């Protein structure tokens, strides 16, 4: 009889530790929202006002150009099936650091110069970091 009574508090303890953890895990998982997804054919261009991901869809190299303001800032060859991610605010800040005059609210123009490969463009909106909260236990850390 005592053996059965021993397992009741053990199960209650496990449930109290696991259940809040699963609720917290469900709340904290976020995925970036895709604002726009398009395929850029060779010789075409698209604008993106948010962060973006480019991917070469074909088996040949693709010539990628990213224009900020009035100048080409990124000039790269994408290998077959290669994927690159760009943070628009980060790219603008890096361009300003290198001496380019780029407005902060500018959009990126992504150009595919081919010659035969298609590039998939995904403009994404990353979630905003929550503001820092006061930690009552910071004194003890």
Mean pLDDT along residues 51-63: 92
How far CA 62 is from CA of 3, 52, 70, 110, 133, in Å, comes to 69, 17, 22, 12, 45
Mean pLDDT along residues 75-102: 88
Mean pLDDT along residues 117-124: 93
Helix residue spans in 1-141 (DSSP H): 2-28, 88-97
**Residue 128 region by backbone torsions, left for phi larger than 0, else alpha for psi between -120 and 50, else beta:** beta
- Please tell me which residue, 103 or 111, carries the higher pLDDT value: 111
How far CA 70 is from CA of 14, 95, 109, 110, in Å, comes to 61, 12, 10, 13
């Amino acid at each position: 009889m005592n053996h059965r009574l021993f397992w009741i508090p053990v199960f209650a303890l496990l449930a109290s530790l696991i259940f809040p953890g699963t609720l917290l895990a469900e709340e904290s998982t976020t995925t970036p929202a895709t604002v726009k997804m398009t395929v850029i054919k060779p010789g075409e261009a698209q604008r993106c006002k948010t962060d973006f991901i480019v991917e070469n869809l074909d088996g040949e190299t693709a010539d990628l150009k990213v224009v900020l303001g009035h100048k080409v800032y990124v000039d790269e060859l994408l290998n077959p099936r290669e994927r690159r991610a760009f943070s628009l605010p980060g790219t603008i800040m890096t361009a300003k650091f290198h001496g380019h005059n780029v407005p902060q609210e500018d959009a990126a123009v992504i150009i595919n110069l081919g010659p035969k490969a298609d590039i998939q463009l995904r403009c994404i909106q990353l979630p905003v970091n929550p503001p820092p909260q006061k930690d009552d236990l910071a004194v003890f850390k």
